[in-house]
Structure 1
Amino acid sequence: MTSLTHLSSQGEAAMVDVSAKAETDRTAIAEGHVVMLPETLELALSGNAKKGDVMAAARIAGIMAAKKTHELIPLCHPLLLTKVSVDIEPDATLPGFRVTALAKVKGQTGVEMEALTAVSIACLTLYDMLKAVDRFMRIEGIGLLEKQGGKSGSWKRNAE
């Protein structure tokens, strides 16, 4: 196990100094899903949800959240993101929505937190827009799928 990078030698929280790191292309992909009643999924897909197009709102919320990650998560570096995408797919087997976010940057630090933040906020937005009809929804499975770039190279979650 490696040591925590956000702690000083005295155990104090500290932002990591990335100034000596090489600038590289970095990518991260995260996922999560919202489980709901089948009727709730049908309502969302019909376009008749009281609050409007739930997938469009969640997609925009996720992209906006990725851009503000450094304001939400202590000690995260502000990044000049070159791409953020949020894909939301209905899945009748859940039933609910599967959310995937991709974040890219050319920089000195990774974009895992930006991808994870995008997924989290997109899922929360889906929940918010549908909670009036389904209080039993659950947000599950938020995690990093893969990352590329930087000194540590590529990483991919093994199929579970």
Structure 2
Amino acid sequence: MNKQTEEQLTHINPQGRARMVDVSEKKKTKREAVACASIYMKRNILERIERGDIHKGDVLSVAQVGGIMGAKKTADIIPMCHPIFMTGCDITFQMDYEKNKIDITATAKVVGETGIEMEALTAVTVAALTIYDMCKAIDKTMTISDIRLLRKIGGKSGEFNFEENKC
């Protein structure tokens, strides 16, 4: 078998089928990933969320917990992700009244043999879906978009920063 280069996909076996990458020979390193997503909505929904006037409860608190729970379950829903022991996960929300959206940012951390990017991406996605779920009765036109990795630190590939390091 030829040694794979960085340009080749590591999740493909010699027969061309998907595989889970073997990380048993990798050293544990401190890793961190930051991801973001945006959810666009009608302005009155944004205002109601900020006032705490959504009948299902405190939308951002529930989305915070949902996002963290999603990050913890990433290996259960993304087929080739390794189960990892996250050492930390936090989610922040920024209300943007100019664009009628909420920007969601998640930071996930681990000391391990493999990255934490998928956990950060899952966290912002589940947080956005939680906001949608809690507000869909009054605004089904909400749009979730701009899900992306902003920053990654640690591991063999080193540091990565998205050109615009913000949502």
* Range class of TM-score, shorter chain: over 0.9
Instruction: Output the CA distance in 2 between the equivalents of 1:53 and 1:89.
Output: 15
- Whether 1:120 and 2:125 are equivalent positions in the alignment is yes
Aligned residues: 160
Partner residue, 2:31: 26
Deviation of 1:159 (Å): 2.2
Q: For residue 151 of structure 1, give the secondary structure of its aligned residue in structure 2.
A: coil
- Whether 1:93 and 2:98 are equivalent positions in the alignment is yes
What amino acid is aligned across from residue 138 of structure 2 in structure 1? V
Instruction: Output the CA distance in 1 between the equivalents of 2:38 and 2:123.
Output: 12
TM-score, structure 2 normalization: 0.93
Q: For residue 103 of structure 1, give the secondary structure of its aligned residue in structure 2.
A: strand
- Whether 1:56 and 2:61 are equivalent positions in the alignment is yes
Structure 2: runs of 5+ lacking an equivalent: 1-5
Deviation of 1:154 (Å): 0.4
Deviation of 1:157 (Å): 0.5
Question: Does the 8 Å contact 1:36/1:94 carry over to 2?
Answer: no
What is the Cα-based RMSD across aligned positions, in Å?
1.1
Partner residue, 1:17: 22
Structure 1: runs of 5+ lacking an equivalent: none
Deviation of 1:59 (Å): 0.4
Question: Does the 8 Å contact 1:86/1:99 carry over to 2?
Answer: yes
- Structure 1 residue corresponding to 2:7, chosen from 2, 9, 13: 2
Instruction: Output the CA distance in 2 between the equivalents of 1:5 and 1:31.
Output: 25
Moved more, 105-114 or 83-92: 83-92
TM-score, structure 1 normalization: 0.97
- Structure 2 residue corresponding to 1:46, chosen from 46, 51, 57: 51
- Map Cα deviations across residues 81-135 of structure 1 (whole Å, 9 max, x no partner): 0000011121112212110000000000000000000000000000111111111
Q: Runs (4+) of structure 1 moved beyond 6 Å? A: none
Partner residue, 2:76: 71
